[in-house]
A and B are shown apart, each in its own frame.
Chain A
Amino acid sequence: MIAPGSEAPKRKPSKINVRVLRQDGPGLPQYWERHQVDYEPDMNVISVLQKIAAQAKTSDGKKVSPVAWDCGCLEEVCGSCTMVINGRVRQSCSALVDRLVEDNPEEIELQPMTKFPVLRDLMIDRSRLFHNLKRVKAWVPVDGSYDMGAGPRISRADQEQNYPLSQCMSCGCCLEACPQFTKIELQRQPGETDESYDLRKKEAYDQGFIGAHAISQAMLFNAHPVGKNIADERMEALTGTGGIAACGNAQNCVAVCPKEIPLTTSIARAGRAATVYSFRKFFDR
């Protein structure tokens, strides 16, 4: 018989140990810090971080500033909260504590993503990810927003192919896992204006690998009846510097995508399209 108030026979810890890789600001050294919070049922990593923020003390009682992190929807649809948890890149809102302690009852280890500049602690700067969407012109080039009637008819089969791709929430997991996507971090120079710093960043990003998410978005819009009107411009980006040729086809990206987007299918399509495009360009010269 189970005593009133007690849960199912699974044993739950009363405390959770958390090890966080912290960094006070860009360019500063990283360091590990230990925290301990009370266990509650149904916790996820976000609620652990909320508790850490509220107590602002390490496990040996030292007063510290709260850990900085990023989150939004708390239901794995906004892409804000990506971090590296027990060595795996994923969303912290859907990382359940019960599961994590099953794998490692000793502690939970939290680190910021490694492919993006750290702003502070677990907060990273993913502006490059959004910039790369501009490189592939990931939009439908409509005339404008005046009422021109309905859009083109789309078959069910096409919708079913495109909908999964359009669920990409720009979380960056695929980039963290990709061996070809390496970190680009610039330091602001003394006296540099916002504009020239931004410009320098853009130029640097334009040299780097574009990433699986952007390749997949390019394929999404190239498949759209109006989006494909600028397919060549997207192919120009994909065949240029940091384009599809840089992809080593390691397929790490598809394994970590939380939305299970068929990234390798998109990459294969992009690869074939790039070959065709390059040939055509060669003969059109």
Chain B
Amino acid sequence: MMGNRVLVVGGGLAGLAATMKLAELGVSVDLLSLTPVKRSHSVCAQGGINSVNDLTRQQGDDEWQHFDDTIYGGDFLQNQPPVKEMAYWAPKVIDLMDRLGVTFNRTPEGFIDRRRFGGTLYKRTAFAGATTGQQLLYALDEQVRRYESEGLVKKYEFWDFLGPVLDDNGRCVGAVAQDMVSMQIRSFAADAVIVATGGNGLVFGRSTMSVFCTGSAASRCFQAGAKLGNPEFIQVHPTAIPGADKLRLMSESARGEGGRVWVPRKPNDSRYPKEIPQNERYYFLEERFPKYGNLVPRDIATREIFNICVNEGLSVDPTRMSVYLDLTHIPRAELDRKLGGILEIYEKFQGVDPREEPMKIFPAVHYSMGGLWVDYEASSSGGLLPGSPQNQVTNIPGLYALGECDYQYHGANRLGANSLLSCIFSGLFVAPGIVNLMKNNKAASDLPKSIFEKAVAVQESRHKALLANQSGDENPYLLHQELGDTMTRAATVVRDNAQLDEAYAKVLDLQARSKKCSLSDTGSWTNQNVIFTKAVQDMFPVSLSILRGARMRDESRGAHYKPAFSPPSLKSTDPAERLREAEAWCDDFEANNKKFLNSTICTWDGTEPVHSFEPIDTRLLAPRPRLYGLVGAEAIEQVWKERSASAKAKPESKQLVSAGT
């Protein structure tokens, strides 16, 4: 292994897990990050991390069930082997994090305590107070610091990854990056490069994500030839606190404890909320969904809140769209006991006491399910083959992607508390494969210098051109705002083809304008202006891919909702007729899957994404309809059961065997 080096870009959970495992296997690692790795966006995760555990096992749970929930929750849009492997590793991941000293909450007897999260019947979620992500990240950060003090890891913090370096055969042999303090641009030779750079929330202007989540690193790989998978799948959380700088998450537990969502019936009612009498308030979730009330599933709550503000014009604030989330009817002591922590966040950042005044909330972009396309090698049991260099590799040999920036684990919709798991799992799992890859390759450090010099020169000229461009009159901050507004309007909660086309044209135009940015700082020391401008320019390829992916997908699946192409509820009340409708519904479902149970693949042609579909590996679980809240669900379920049973009886049936293998 002497002389082998791996470059890990990104020190969130995924990047740190990979770094730790590689160092443990004796590989030297250069770890590069926009920020000190301990400050990565993973610190923001509050809720927890999932795994089957001794308790749920005795209630009938097992790894297979966790796998099934994840696939079903993701509306069958994932290749199944990686998800299966992740579910089977989950208990081991929690055990490891426990050994690394994570201060998980405990039961009275001293075991790790668990809570229940959406999309499952079992209490699988381990948590550490309301800062689980922070605690997990710190545990990995500490281990990496230990390897750093032994000399196996070298950190490059406050560095911006500018792109991979490819040799003449198209293999990734390193990367170019820029020191954000001295502005020096240099190359890093590496026998493999891992990109673990997180989500791209900033494409939408403001989101629940950190300022580092620009998606620029993934975009730079995309522009260098890496494929994107499922970029159009963006999770929007129903309740966030709109802020001038960020949309901070307001946990679902506020509604769980009795919070009521409402708006004044009269548009632009400027009265103080407490002065508005009950009969002039519109509790729209309770009225429209009498059965579930304020606790309708996340996607439905998101759509309704969005709709009430955008289409019905009932926002409670004329300048910033929002609805009331009201807890003021609940006694103060009870609120403090059950919701203390999250109410403090609201109080700290809004300067308003939510026990006295209803909170103003609105949905916010929260997570990117899609990302860099990555490969895998399946084992005979339908999981992943350990140690295979194919696992997590992009279509560029030697370039790996993991964590929120890959597209692999969450399909059309991510289940709560599964992301932290996928990050740590893929980081641990990828390392042995990379070690095997390096056994067979010539060391990158022995390659001719010219490959690296050429790549550096390209980045230097981009940098210099930006600083020199004083004739342009575009302001990168304002362009970013326009991009965010356009993307938020067209590509979040509800999608419509005409609107997507319009947004696509607009973003193409913004992309062209972004080439004419003129900088207010042309200096050569700690120039944040130029770093930001590059990040903004690199948001356009990803934004265009999100819009194109959404445009081409004429269906509703998971977080992607197109009302014009959503399956209707059953209408008839006559049992026989209803059954006939259910048959037709299932026919449509199967026909739709033939067309759209495919991963979106985008490649970059220099100015626009090129779109195609790729079949999904459903070797383990046959797709089945998700029927939550649909009228006629029982009839459809009955028909579907019969069809599945008869398909099983004759295993050659094409209906249930996937398009892929």
Contact = CB atoms under 8 A, between A and B. Distances in A.
Given A138-B145, A159-B105, A167-B134, A40 B526 contact: no
B246 interface: yes
Given A44-B244, A54-B475, A65 B110 contact: no
B526 A156 contact: no
Nearest to B144: A139
A227 B526 CA distance: 39
11 contacts: A70-B35, A73-B210, A74-B243, A75-B246, A77-B43, A78-B35, A78-B44, A142-B99, A142-B100, A147-B96, A166-B128
Given A65-B521, A120-B525, A142-B99, A94 B21 contact: no
Of B39, B104, B520, which is in contact with the most chain A CB atoms at under 10 Å from its CB? Answer: B39
Given A130-B145, A155-B106, A227-B101, A6 B270 contact: yes
Given A147-B92, A170-B38, A44 B134 contact: no
Interface string A100-117: 000000000000000000
A73 B40 CA distance: 8
A134 interface: yes
A144 interface: yes
Nearest to B532: A53
A75 B349 contact: yes
Interface in B523-537: 523, 525-529
Contacts of A5: 268, 270, 318
A76 B212 contact: no
A163 B36 contact: no
Contacts of A224: 101
Given A75-B345, A137-B146, A167-B134, 18 more contacts: A54-B475, A66-B521, A71-B211, A72-B211, A77-B134, A78-B39, A79-B38, A79-B39, A93-B245, A94-B349, A96-B349, A138-B142, A153-B109, A154-B106, A166-B101, A169-B39, A224-B101, A226-B99
Contacts of A134: 145, 148-149
A123 B35 CA distance: 12
Given A4-B268, A96-B349, A139 B318 contact: no
Interface in B188-227: 210-212
Interface string A35-79: 000001111101100100110100000011110101111111111
Contact of B526 (A56, A96, A123): A123
A162 interface: yes
B381 interface: no
A142 B143 contact: yes
A112 to B, nearest CB: 12
A73 B43 contact: yes
Interface residues on B, range: 35 or more
Nearest to B53: A150
Contact of B142 (A72, A93, A139): A139
A72 B210 contact: yes
A62 to B, nearest CB: 12
Contact of B529 (A63, A66, A99): A66
A25 interface: yes
Contact of A150 (B98, B248, B268): B98
Contact of A169 (B43, B92, B105): B43
A63 B520 CA distance: 8
A225 B406 CA distance: 37
Given A53-B477, A150-B95, A156-B107, A75 B181 contact: no
A267 B218 CA distance: 44
Contacts of A126: 36
Interface of A: 2-6, 8, 24-25, 40-44, 46-47, 50, 53-54, 56, 63-66, 68, 70-80, 93-94, 96, 98-99, 119-120, 123, 126, 130, 133-134, 137-142, 144-145, 147-151, 153-156, 159, 162-163, 166-167, 169-170, 221, 224, 226-227
A134 B477 CA distance: 39
A98 B351 contact: yes
Nearest to A43: B244
Contacts of B348: 76, 94
Contact of A8 (B38, B103, B131, B272): B272
A159 B106 contact: yes
Interface string B312-339: 0000001100000000000000000000
A184 B244 CA distance: 37
Nearest to A224: B101
Contacts of A159: 103-106
Contact of B245 (A44, A156, A166): A44
A151 B210 contact: no
Contacts of B177: none
B237 interface: no
A47 B146 CA distance: 37
A227 B59 CA distance: 34
